[in-house]
Amino acid sequence: MRSIAQNIAEIKASLPAMVTLVAVSKTQPNDALMDAYHAGQRIFGENRVQELASKAEALPADIEWHMIGHLQTNKVKYIAPFVCLIHSVDSSKLLKEINKEAARNGRIIPVLLQFHIAEEESKFGLNWEEAEALLTSDDFRGMRNIRVVGVMGMATFTENKNQVRKEFGSLKNIFERLKANHFAEEPSFKEISMGMSGDYTIAIQEGSTMVRLGSSIFGSRS
Ligand SMILES: *Cc1c(COP(=O)(O)O)cnc(C)c1O
C-alpha cells in the first residue's frame, strides 16, 4: 500500500507550480493529517465546522485551514477566528455573517463564491444572476472584513469527461467575467477552486488554481 507521504509527493510532482493543493481531510483521524503534515502539507480542507474547529485546536498552529463544505450562518462564529479561506459562500446572508464575525475578530477573511455548475440538483451554489446581484448590492459594498478572492465549483459526478470538462470550462468563464466586471483592479481575485480526486486533471486543463483532493491522498473514506 502506498503511504500518505508517497501520495502527496506524487500528486505534487504532477501539479503545475501555480496550482495549490488542498488536502481534504474530512473524516480522517489526526494521525493521518500529521502524516501529511510531516510530508510538507500545510493546507487542509474540511467540510464540517465542528470537525474543523476541533482539528485546528489539536494540530500544529501553522496549518492553514480551509472550509470547503456548506456553511450555516449560525456556525460561522466557530471558525471565524482562524479559518484561512472559505470556499463555499453561496448567499449574501452568509457573506454578511462572515463579514460580521471577521470584524469581531479583527480580521479580513478571504472567501470564494461557490457556483452551481453541475447538472445535479443537489449541489449548492450561486448562479450568474445571483452573483451579480450580490456583487452590485449596497450590502456588499459595505463589507470591509471579507475579501472575495475567486470562485469554487463542483462538477457532476459522472464518467462523461466531456460534460465534466464543459462544467469546469463554465466556471472558468464565470471567473473571467466576474474579474472583468468587478475585480479588474484587484490582483487578489485570482483563485479558481475546482477539481477533486476523480476529475482534477481535467480541472487543471480548464484553468483550476486550487484542487481539493481527499481520497487520492488519504485513501477512501470509511
Ligand atoms: C470531499 C470533498 C472533496 C474531496 O473529494 P475526493 O473525491 O475525496 O478527492 C473536495 N471538495 C469538496 C467540497 C468535498 O466535500
Please name the amino acid found at residue 174: I
pTM for this structure? Answer: 0.97
Least Cα distance to 111 among 143, 136, 139 occurs for 143
Q: How confident is the model at residue 120 (pLDDT cuts 50, 70, 90)?
A: confident
What three-state secondary structure class fits 23?
strand
Average pLDDT over residues 159-175: 97
Ligand 1 pocket test: which of 123, 212, 216 has the largest number of ligand atoms within 8 Å of its C-beta? 212
- The pLDDT of residue 124 is 85
Q: Atom 7 (ligand 1): residue with closest C-alpha? A: 197
The answer on pLDDT for 9 being more than 80 is: yes
What angle is formed at CA 56 by the lines to CA 55 and CA 58, rounded to 5 degrees?
Answer: 65
DSSP codes of every residue in 24-51:
E-TT--HHHHHHHHHTT--EEEES-HHH
Ligand 1 atom nearest to CA at 221: 8
Cβ(23)–Cβ(213) below 8 Å: yes
Question: C-alpha cell of 70?
Answer: 456548506
Beta carbons within 8 Å of 193's beta carbon, 6+ residues apart: 22, 68, 87, 112, 150, 151, 152, 153, 208, 209, 210, 211, 212
3-state helix, strand, coil in the chain (%, to 5): 40, 20, 40
Ligand 1 pocket test: which of 15, 20, 47, 70 has the largest number of ligand atoms within 8 Å of its C-beta? 47
DSSP 220: -
Query: Is the distance from the beta carbon of residue 68 to the nearest atom of ligand 1 less than 6 Å?
Result: yes
Query: Is the distance from the beta carbon of residue 219 to the nearest atom of ligand 1 less than 6 Å?
Result: no
Cβ(32)–Cβ(25) below 8 Å: yes
The answer on pLDDT for 135 being more than 80 is: yes
Q: What is the pLDDT of residues 149-166, one digit of tens each?
A: 999 999 999 999 999 999
Q: What is the pLDDT of residues 44-91, one digit of tens each?
A: 999 999 999 999 999 999 999 999 999 999 999 999 999 999 999 999
